[in-house]
Chain A
Amino acid sequence: NAGVTQTPKFQVLKTGQSMTLQCAQDMNHEYMSWYRQDPGMGLRLIHYSVGAGITDQGEVPNGYNVSRSTTEDFPLRLLSAAPSQTSVYFCASSYLRAPEAFFGQGTRLTVV
């Protein structure tokens, strides 16, 4: 079973560049979300979606865009990368009525 798949696993960007982090799940989960994890700060919610066509902001949305055109995919776009966006990014999914989340393996992003 694939579960939640994130690509790429590692990425180095230059300041000002844009890129898309991919996330796909094969469990037909309605809810998908993106988190960033920084040392000593746990995971912070960036954006989330409760279904195709519906997205909303989390705790730290600035500098990021998302879209949800299908149930399976929830890409995260960095519009103009900044060194402050250096972090590990995790995508997660779950059923709306069962909040146990399944996580991808993460994308380690470095912005120089």
Chain B
Amino acid sequence: SQQGEEDPQALSIQEGENATMNCSYKTSINNLQWYRQNSGRGLVHLILIRSNEREKHSGRLRVTLDTSKKSSSLLITASRAADTASYFCATTGTASKLTFGTGTRLQVTL
């Protein structure tokens, strides 16, 4: 079964706006990662946040983690058309085994 569920399933915004997507998971984790998938391509790692961290930044990305609520959010600031993609959260429990959420499809229009 899926570990994570993402919300919303789809998001459409205009270029320059911020995009926020959320991820909820079910069991204890060692860390949580976010990946991007462009249409028809493989997944690309964006950012990792460990279970003892609450917030992390990387460029235009900001990730938060609330282990008490078993949830995480990904904020993309000042979105660009090139950010159009599907975004997945993935949790790691045992070793390097990743369990993915169902993804959020982001559409950024000009």
The chain A residues found within 8 Å of chain B, CB to CB, are 4, 31, 33, 35, 40-45, 48, 50, 58-59, 90, 92, 94-96, 99-106
Contacts and interface: CB of A to CB of B under 8 A. Distances in A.
Main secondary structure of the interface of A (DSSP, over half): strand
Given A42-B88, A103-B44, A31 B95 contact: yes
Contacts, number: 66
A50 B97 CA distance: 9
Contact of B42 (A41, A58, A95, A103): A103
B75 to A, nearest CB: 20
Contacts of A90: 42-43
Interface size, B (range): 20 to 34
A99 B98 contact: yes
Contact of B43 (A44, A96, A103): A103
Contacts of B90: 101
